[in-house]
Amino acid sequence: MTRVADYDNFARLIMSDSDLRPRIKEMLVKNLMLPTTPDQIGDDLPLFGPNGLGLDSIDALELVVSMEKTFGVGVPNSEVAGKVLRTVNTIHDYILEKRGEAVQTGGKIDNPA
């Protein structure tokens, strides 16, 4: 791994909790090309379905890829995705959980199969 990649992984690990929710919202708007602004997305707003942002299965795939690229955190299967990709808060909690695991394993964020 290069020094730049090491730094990027380290930066993801030390990102403050207060920065994380806004970054998740920015990722959603930018990568899914949502017709809204990050500040209009509530932390507990459902991401899928008619009573929320209205994302669909294609958006879910894009979201998983975006999470990997932006935060270095993968979603290993559809069962985990169903639990994690509900709201900004559930994504936030998952990233923090994976970050905690990464600290325990020396900074590497693994994607369990």
Q: Where are the domains of the chain?
A: 3-104
Nearest-angstrom CA–CA distance, 105 and 18: 24
Q: Following CA atoms 30, 102, 92, 84 in sequence, which dihedral angle do they give, to the nearest 10 degrees?
A: 90
As a whole number, mean pLDDT of residues 64-83 equals 96
Nearest-angstrom CA–CA distance, 24 and 96: 12
Supply the pLDDT for residue 100: 84
Supply the pLDDT for residue 36: 95
Supply the pLDDT for residue 107: 55
Its sign, for the CA torsion 89, 90, 96, 100, is positive
Quote the radius of gyration of the chain (alpha carbons, Å): 14
Nearest-angstrom CA–CA distance, 95 and 110: 12
CATH class of segment(s) 3-104: mainly alpha
